[in-house]
Structure 1
Amino acid sequence: MPCFMCGARQTDPARGASPWRRGVRADRQVLVCPRCQTEHDWTAGLDRCAACGSASLVCRLGEVECRDCGHTREAVRDQDGPADDRDLVRSGAQSRDSGLSEEVAAALSRVLRRGPTPD
């Protein structure tokens, strides 16, 4: 899942806690990369807890839970989501991800061209 703000893709993490942050937007789980956390008010576009106003929400198993106060509610959304939320990634992110299929194809070629297996 890419960063919902810039579209950056996660790479293999180093040991320890991930620097990426989770949030909820339009009752969908989203991720925010470390760069966007420092360069933007990354909580501005996220849903807030109805009980305490926190943006520390997680969405799982059809529920949205606040990590600060524990308040839970049912996640409600359309099949396609709201019209303005169909593309959670802001402009410019698609151009960075346009080569994803080519990267995947190249990686598969490298892995699958190991040579014939011995009988």
Structure 2
Amino acid sequence: MPCYRCGVRQTDPVRGASPWRRGVRHEAQVLICPSCQREHDLDLDLDRCRTCGSSRLICRLGEVECRSCGAVRPARVADARPSSLVGAGAPGLSEEVEAALGRLFGRHPAR
């Protein structure tokens, strides 16, 4: 999953805690790269807990959970994959892999 702000993809992790941050935006789980964490006030973009106001939310299995207070609520299904995410119009992982294999093996995509 790419960073929702800039579209950069996560690289292989090193040992220790990941510098990437998880969040929820428009009822969908998003990742935030370290650069965007430094450069932007992400709390303005991310959904907030209805109980405590924290932006430390995770979305899983149709639920949104607050990592600060533990409140859990059902996620709205209608807007589970918003078009406002940066990666929505960008090539997906399968397209990136296909392009990389084409470069590696000298194949050119059919047009």
Q: Structures share a fold, TM > 0.5?
A: yes
Q: What is the aligned partner in structure 2 of residue 69 from structure 1?
A: 69
Any gaps of 5 or more consecutive residues in structure 2? 106-111
| TM-score in terms of structure 1 length | 0.74
| TM-score in terms of structure 2 length | 0.79
| CA displacement 1:12-69 (0-9 Å, x = unmatched) | 0111110000000111100000000001112211110000000000011111000000
> Contact (CA 8 Å) 1:56, 1:68: kept in 2 or not?
yes
Percent identical residues: 53
Any gaps of 5 or more consecutive residues in structure 1? 110-119
**Runs of 4+ residues over 6 Å off in structure 1:** none
Distance 1:104 1:16 in 2: 30
Q: Aligned AA for 1:102?
A: A
Distance 1:29 1:105 in 2: 31
Distance 1:105 1:21 in 2: 32
Q: What is the aligned partner in structure 1 of residue 109 from structure 2?
A: none
| CA displacement 1:77-99 (0-9 Å, x = unmatched) | 31xx289x314117xx838x8x7
Q: What is the aligned partner in structure 2 of residue 55 from structure 1?
A: 55
CA RMSD in angstroms, aligned pairs only: 2.6
The number of equivalent residue pairs is: 102
State the structure with more CA Rg.
1
